[in-house]
Amino acid sequence: MGKAEATRERILEAAMAEFSAYGVAGARVDRIARNAGCNKNLIYVYFDNKETLFTTVLEKNLLRVYEDLAFTADDLPGYAARVFDYTMAHPDLMRLMAWSNLELKAANPATRAEVHGGKVAELAAAQDNGKVNPAFPPTFLLTTIMTLATAWTAANPYGPSLDPEAVKDPAALRENIVETIKLITRPE
């Protein structure tokens, strides 16, 4: 990795910490530059503006999630468990996504919609083949799985604040999520 690429990566790491803590509006480019050990102007050379930097950080991290969490309609409870584990281990990503939803509705990388569409299509095919309960539309099932698997992250206003005891035993919480997804997706 060259010096320029290393600097760009340090900027992205510092920006992840800054944006997940403060959102786009509260984030400061001068803090990102200081934490990345570079000149503030260099950030604008690489990313043009703060919003582009935010979108780049979001997309980079979502691509990592897509690579790390393979989706398969053949094991929806297992997928929910993997999402739960990942989001509990990466609270900064969940905060980043929350900020994205609050501040930059348009900052939804095209890859996110593409990946979502692929998952929905795979769910629909599994329903057609009798492998997944057809009682719910595939988009509803995917939203339910993702919502349940991420409900106890720090960015969710319900899970950890209204059910703090559940977070103390993540293994039991994970098992409850898995069992719930089994119940709603099991073929009839």
State the CATH number of the domain containing residue 28.
1.10.10.60
**Residue 22 sits in the same domain as residue 84:** no
The Cα 15–Cα 134 span in angstroms is 42
* pLDDT tens digits along 42-57: 999 999 999 999 999 9
What percent of the residues of the chain are helix, what percent strand, and what percent coil, each to the nearest 5? 80, 0, 20
Q: Is the pTM of this model over 0.75?
A: yes
The Cα 183–Cα 41 span in angstroms is 54
* pLDDT tens digits along 79-107: 999 999 999 999 999 999 888 888 866 55
Q: What confidence tier does 114 reach under pLDDT thresholds 50, 70, 90?
A: confident
Beta carbons within 8 Å of 93's beta carbon, 6+ residues apart: 20, 61, 65, 87
**Residue 46 sits in the same domain as residue 92:** no
Residues 129-144 have a mean pLDDT of: 96
**What is the pLDDT of the chain when averaged over all its residues?**
90
**Residue 6 sits in the same domain as residue 82:** no
* pLDDT (0 to 100) of residue 152: 87
**Residue 161 sits in the same domain as residue 81:** yes
Is the model's pLDDT at 159 over the cut of 80? no
**Residue 44 sits in the same domain as residue 104:** no
Greatest distance between any 2 Cα atoms in the chain: 60
**Residue 146 sits in the same domain as residue 104:** yes
Residues 137-160 have a mean pLDDT of: 88
By percentage, how much of the chain surpasses pLDDT 70? 96
Q: How far is CA 143 from the centre of its chain?
A: 13
123: in domain:
yes
CATH number at residue 119: 1.10.357.10
The Cα 128–Cα 138 span in angstroms is 11
Q: Which domain holds residue 37?
A: 1-53
Residues 30-46 have a mean pLDDT of: 95
Q: Per the structure, how many domains does the chain have?
A: 2
Residues 72-80 have a mean pLDDT of: 95
168: in domain:
yes
Q: What confidence tier does 111 reach under pLDDT thresholds 50, 70, 90?
A: confident
91: in domain:
yes
Most confident of 2-6, 70-74, 96-100, 177-181: 177-181
